[in-house]
Amino acid sequence: MSTSVSPSENKTYGVAPVCRIWKLSRATLYRQRVRARATRPATPKRPGPQGAASDADLVAAIRKVLANSPFHGEGYRKIWARLRLAGLLIFYTVGDEDW
């Protein structure tokens, strides 16, 4: 609410004025916010299409490609190309994985 912008005055709404109009105490509002967060899934699903492999399988395949490489470092384009040649199609990037 406090980040919503009024279309007529182009100002942000405050919690207190909104609660006064709704005839609702601020404590109730904050309690409802906590309950809404508690009902959300703990780990949200990754957005976008699912790839041909899970993240764990993909990380293992990337590590295998890097281990078999004669070079010290590989760029992501070469790794993706080698994974595609190996038959593992990649539709997304891996994020927050410990390399």
Calpha distance 66→79 (Å, rounded): 8
5 beta partners:
12
- Cα 25 from Cα 30, distance rounded (Å): 9
**pLDDT at residue 96, rounded to an integer:** 46
Q: Give the H/E segment covering residue 78.
A: helix 76-85
pLDDT tens, per residue, the chain with 99 residues: 556 677 777 778 788 888 888 888 888 888 888 888 777 766 666 666 666 677 788 888 889 888 888 888 788 888 888 888 887 765 555 554 544
pLDDT at 11: 79
Q: Where are the domains of the chain?
A: 1-40, 46-99
- On whether the CB atoms of residues 49 and 91 are closer than 8 A, the answer is yes
Nearest CA to 46 out of 57, 35, 54 is that of 54
End-to-end CA distance of the chain: 40
- What is the model's pLDDT at position 99? 45
Helices 55-68 and 76-85: crossing angle in degrees, nearest 10, is 100
